[in-house]
Amino acid sequence: MTPALPTNPTAQQTIEPDDFSLPVEALSRLFCSNAIHYSYSFNPRLTEDVTHAAWNVVVNLWRNNRPLLFPTPQLYIYKTKQQQLEEDDPNASLDTVADSTSQGVVVDYCILMPAITWYQGQAPTDEELKAINLDFLSLGYVSSLCAPLLVELKRPVTRSADNILEYIADLGCKIGSAGQQVLLQSQCLFSSAKYADQQWAILVAGAGGWWMCKIVTQQDIEHMFDISEYGDLLKQLKREDIISRETEERKDKKRKGTAKVADPDELFTPAEVLSMKSAMKSCTDYFTNEATLEKDKVHPGYFTQQAREAQAKKRAQSDKARDIRCASRADRKQDRLAACVALETYMQDLGSKRFYSEEEVKWALKLRNGCHNHKPSALGKKVWADAQSVKIPVDDPTEFPWDQVRNRLRSDWTPPMRIASPVSNRYFAVIRKLLTEDPTAPLNLTVT
């Protein structure tokens, strides 16, 4: 499906009014990206995410046929402790290979933007290009290199969710972990001497057909890149991914009726239960004795008439304030309970599905906001906590002006968006506009 560009009048003046996709080229790009994806010599990690092929097309569409933008998968960004080779060093070609002291990250996708400087200001002529005269190759060199766009992708959202909130929770986990990882990758980018001139970068975190984006500047980096911090994050994400995979496999087997061993009903052994009960009894006895001793203490001056009147007045004021608070709390609780009932009813109506639409996700998140801290009984604590971390996707992209888009991208991640939705197309056009600007210059927040 070819998404339409926004119809905002201001947007038509600042965003290129071309189409987002060309059918024939998109098919050929999809074929080539699949060939690269399944080539072991090019992709030795054999990334399992089948949506990489589609994202390859998306990144190429962001490029928008500009010759100095190079979509690059599996790029190694690193910093090294050794001094960089000089231009006249005979071993300068070795500078393209990371040495043993290098520390770096591998990004799923990025866009490279080299800056070409011509010797003595002399560019190759049309006659030289037409004659394929190789002498012109010595007229220019890459003076600087930028990576204005970094993309980190995770596996698609689970297709084994029991209800829509489990689907939303898995979406929040996967796209959130992608955001954490690409943020540290940008830290490595700004710590590398190869990209020292770069001032800002666009970060994209994706999980299947969902994605979110953010702009990060060099000033946002609080400290230099630490490979141990990045390694700890990768270990944590790997553990979470293993648990997620096992959960999905178990649910699939259960649906097919091939589950052999049921989960145990008892969380603790009888000895552990007895030990916990003894500890609870000791704690209860201690606080009971403390309350008795406090009650037996004599407070001087408490039984005078003046003290009694002051105490009665204070108690009346406290009772009145408490009644007001209780009434307000009861109203809020009633509203939240009603929202919880509506959310549970909505979950039951939808049931377990392989796929939930963007409209269903938006409505479930709106009902979730009405519940506040009241957890539906059908959900576990972790699922509810993960579901609460997901922002509501924007219904109408025109609800925020074009001149505020960059400031929003600078302040925080966008809500999750589905590719080809109206709000996704709006940010798609913004990224295209940003990729026409110079990453070595400070980010201009006033451009619409």
The domain locations on the chain are 17-112+149-227+395-437
Q: What pLDDT score was predicted for residue 41?
A: 60
CB within 8 Å of 302: residues ≥ 6 apart? 311
Q: What pLDDT score was predicted for residue 290?
A: 55
Distance between CA atoms of residues 284 and 292, nearest Å: 12
Q: What pLDDT score was predicted for residue 21?
A: 38
Q: What pLDDT score was predicted for residue 310?
A: 79
What is the 3-class SS of 92-146, one letter each residue?
HHHHHCCCCCCEEEEEEEEEEEEEEEEHHHCCCCHHHHHCCCHHHHHHEEEEEEE
Which amino acid makes up residue 420? Answer: A
> Which residues, in sequence order, are bridge partners of residue 118?
140
Return the structure tokens found at 149. Answer: 């766009």
> Structure pTM?
0.66
CB within 8 Å of 327: residues ≥ 6 apart? none
Tens of pLDDT along the chain (448 residues)?
A: 333 433 433 333 343 433 343 344 554 554 565 555 545 565 554 455 556 767 877 887 787 777 788 888 888 888 776 655 555 555 545 555 666 667 788 888 888 888 777 666 666 666 655 555 555 555 566 777 889 999 998 888 887 888 888 888 888 888 999 999 999 999 999 988 888 889 999 999 998 788 999 999 988 887 888 888 888 888 888 888 888 878 877 877 776 665 444 444 455 567 666 766 776 666 666 556 655 555 545 455 555 677 777 777 888 778 777 767 776 666 566 666 777 777 778 888 888 877 788 888 888 888 887 777 677 776 777 777 777 778 777 666 666 666 778 888 888 898 888 887 888 888 888 888 888 888 888 888 776 6
Distance between CA atoms of residues 164 and 169, nearest Å: 9
Distance between CA atoms of residues 241 and 244, nearest Å: 5
Q: What pLDDT score was predicted for residue 126?
A: 67
Residue located via tokens 């960059």: 406
Would residue 158 be called left, alpha or beta, if left means φ above 0 and alpha means ψ between -120 and 50 degrees?
A: beta
8 A C-beta contact, residue 217 and residue 247 = no
> Which residues, in sequence order, are bridge partners of residue 78?
104
Could you tell me where the DSSP H helices lie in 258-378? 270-296, 305-350, 358-371
Distance between CA atoms of residues 196 and 239, nearest Å: 34
11-70 pLDDT per residue, tens = 333 434 333 433 445 545 545 655 555 455 655 544 555 567 678 778 877 877 777 888
Would residue 132 be called left, alpha or beta, if left means φ above 0 and alpha means ψ between -120 and 50 degrees?
A: left
Q: What angle do CA 404, 410, 413 make, to 5 degrees?
A: 100
